Structure 1
Amino acid sequence: MEFTRIRYDEQHDHLRALNQSASLIQINEQLSQEIIQHKQTSEKLQQSVKRTWDILNSLFVFVGVYSLDGILQEANRAPLEAAGLQPADVIGKPFWETYWWSYSTAVQEKLKRSFREAARGRTIRYDTTARLSEKRFIDLDITFGPLYDSAGEIIQLIGSAVDITERLAAEKREAEKSAQLQNILKVNPDLYFHLNYQGVLVGFVNEKNQHRFLPIESVQQRHIYEIFPPAVASQFESAIQETIQSQAATTFEYTLELQQQSRWFQARLLPCQPEELLVIIQDITQKKYAEISLQHVHARLTEAQRQAHIGSWEWNPRENSLWWSEEIYRILGLGDPDLLPTTQTFMEMVHEEDRELVARVITNTLENNLPFSLEHRIVRPQGEVRHVHLQAGLKADPQAGSQLMYGTIQDITEKQEASRIAQEYRDELAHVSRLIVKGELIAGLSHELNQPLTAIANYCGAMKTLMEQGHDVSELRDKIEGQALRSGEIIRRLKAFSQKQQQRFLFNIHDSIRSALQMINYQIRLKQIEVQTCYKNKFTTVYADRVQVEQVLVNLFKNAVEAMEHTPSPRTLTVSTTSTPDKMIQISVSDTGCGVPEHFRSKLFTPFATSKKTGLGIGLSLSRSLIHAADGKMWFLPNTRKGASFHIQLPASQKLPE
């Protein structure tokens, strides 16, 4: 029995030992699994930390781990590389003693205080400046805070810094712009305020001038229908809806009675904040009055052009763009004023016989910058031929960097016809006048000289008879001498024929000059002669017979034109007036023609003496006679370079009787 019990005990101990061994094996396997899992987790954590540091190192963000007394224990590479530092230069040192902060003791002291506060459990954040090199600094947004363990104890400090240099620079620029805008608004005469989408005024941007724009004073939080008259408020309401729908600026104009005056305003609504619009109101009263005045001027100019049959035009040769006034459409017989004008349209309407001349003159102006003035014909679409006066010149356009051609066209058809008829009358009158003068000279001379010459012949016959008979003839000789003196007196009286009664009065000599130039305007234009006038005074009067003075001026102008007919350009006719110390007005007429031959100068004022092939030789002699009859003077002087000058002096006022 004892043996059996002992065997039983041995088996029982063996089984218990086996059970314990199995448990140990199971525990060992579990521990091995946990160790493997812990290792894998640790590796993943290390990889994660490495990736985090790699990311931090790729960015200019400073991340550091510190001891509680501010010793830097770990940091990413970016700030070290930026300052050219090695880890050994900063790791294990108080953070405030590193190179980044060595430029300022005040910055270092602030860092010390920040670490002390962070060690007490506070998170510190502020902006500061770090040095990367002797000349390069950056602005940082820096943060320090505590790092706790599982028991809630602070074991380390962690800090980070972000480069905010560009952000601060942008904020500074924005602040400067904002300050500039505020300064502009302070001096800006316009009114700015905000409206919500319901039409309520919710705030001002500048309100110091609101009394100049709004009909009432208290307008905050009031609806537009409470601020403006219904008609104006309705315009605001429509503009609000249009701006909301289009999300673009809307502009309109309106009038208000302010301080017993009617004022014009322009309102501009722009999308601004959510559910709000910015309203800008500008006083445009002066601009509006100027526009109205300009419209009146344009209307008057248009009417003046219509009455005078003168149209204006502008041509840009570079862009080949042409503008016509309304009168040009009427002159050219074009019924549609909306027709786009072109140079081709105009040149096609120029008479085919004049087209080459017009093109040549325009080309000459473009190449030599010379103004032109010429008369030519146009053919209207209905086939009607009209005469026009075309003139133009070049003017620089600084904005476009080119030259523009400005000009006018005048319908001179009626004037041309009148001039033609007048020319015929003048030619006939001149012919008759020459016949009358010639007839008066011949008839007067024959009638006046007939008697004394007959008496002399009779006395000579009697003297011959008496001398043959040996008688004294002294008495007959005295009678012959008396008749000869009588003949001389007749000649003197014929010479003074211009002393007949004249119609003298005071008149503006400049008007007569213009009138005389107009009489031969066709010849001047035809021969492309430039007329220059030089007047020291705008209004200069003379006392003479105006018709006779203009007859003299026409004669001088015609002579000048004929003298320049075959001379090369430029051909210039110059007319000037000036006063003399002896109360006379001197008129000078100069040309750039062929001049007067030296051998003929002494005969210039001799009747019937002429250097022209078809001339009669009485023009200058008659002219000087008329001037002398008006108590004036007339003489000739050759020009220094080329051409001739004729000078006339006429009394500036009526002479008092002695």
Structure 2
Amino acid sequence: MQPLEQELQRCLQEADRYRLLAEQSTDMISRHTPTPEWTFIDVNPAIERMLGYRADEIIGTSGYDLFHPDDADNLKKRADSVRYRRGMYTNVYRFQHRDGHYIWLETTSRTIRDELGHPVEIICVSRDVTERELAQQATRRLARVVEASSDMILFCNHRTLQLTYMNETAYRTFGAERENLAVFYLNQLFPQDVLHTLVEPALQHAALYGTWYGSIPLYPAGNPGRIAEIREIIAHRNRAENMQVEYYSIIARDITLKRKAEEKAKRQQLEMAHMSRLLSVGEMATELAHEINQPLATIINYCNGTFRRLEEGQITELTQVTRSMELISAQARRASEIIKRMRRFVRRTEFQRVSFPVNETCIEVTRFLNQEALDNSIRFDFDLDPDSPILEADRLQIEQVLLNLVRNAIEAYSDSDISPKPVTIRTRVEGKRITVSVIDQGPGIDPAQLDNLFEPFITSKENGLGMGLSISHTIIESHCGRLWVESDGQSGTRFHFQLPLKGQA
């Protein structure tokens, strides 16, 4: 065989091997005209699996017509999806399947030219990257959601505790800028006691169970006045290797506005409670004046009697004057206690959580209403828990609730002729809570009024504002308790409020 024939034979064998490789390839290998139509000249069998066409169906067809309209001119526009390297273009685009839907292809192409540099054809190698593109799209959508989230979202290295990613909200809350690169570490954001007692146990819990939920306060040093809290920690594991924790996602929230709103609401509640106490004292003005007048009148009588006896010479020994002074002093102290009690009740105060015996408070409130009870033939009956339970709350506000309920019980007898008229105050410990009840035997409350009894400005009193029960309801709820009423509209009314005992809130 001549050398020329041998070379020809070798070339034919090599061409057969290349064709065999092309036909067996899972990638789609195609040849196209170098014209705008990008017409198929030849294609391997992989096209049927990838695009649904047989090779003989697609040859002679314009490839350009099968591009998605938004991707047809990627190469001309040098879109972001196009890369160029060493004479080859790589383009990611959508191409129409035989069934009509579009799939994502990644195509690497090279233009074949003749000796004069004129394009002869274009060789393309394409693969289906639909799953990859959809996953990347989902990731990009998720990234946009994370960036737009009003929550702070942080990624934290599980070993170094370095924050490897922070969204825009986190940068803003920390008072930092992305342009000025700053390295944040989790252990730099918290005081040592908070880090050891709250943050580290939360991370350990997330590492063991996958997630942690709770509340850890965070005060950004670079943005004084802001308040945030960590609410959730998620541990992400390396599932491809050893299932060890790879990093943490930390979700936090800027609660500055919420705290300010809470403080404002608390101030408004205190003001409303103070106003309610002033109104209560105003409504009791006649009874209070009468109660103060009694010791004052007694003092005057003792003084006048002592003077008269001195003038008549009836007092001959110092001990007789001493006894009069003791009686006068006792009445003065009584008047002073009444005034002190009233001043303490009406003063404006901040919320103060203290420990106090609830039984003693119940008795103290009835002393404040002593004259009103006498004027209305009211008899106070006490059924108090023998264990003398201790509450931890704002004592003044609890006294205010009791005062409102007891006065309501007194007023329930306004049209009743029975005498005496019993008002029972009961305390009972039930588990970790205490229930205080104020019970009267008046005509009761119409069942139709029970549903809106605690709403503001709802009242059956001729001159009432309808704020007493509403404020009492708010006070009890702010103490993690509840206030409710029971009445059948015939046989009396029972108001109850329940609060956590000391140490159980």
Q: Same fold per TM (> 0.5)?
A: no
- Range into which the TM-score falls when normalised by the shorter chain: 0.3 to 0.5
Which structure's CA Rg is the greater one? 1
Tell me: higher relative CO, structure 1 or 2? Use CA pairs within 8 A at least 6 residues apart: 2
Higher helix share: 1
- TM-score normalized with structure 2 length: 0.44
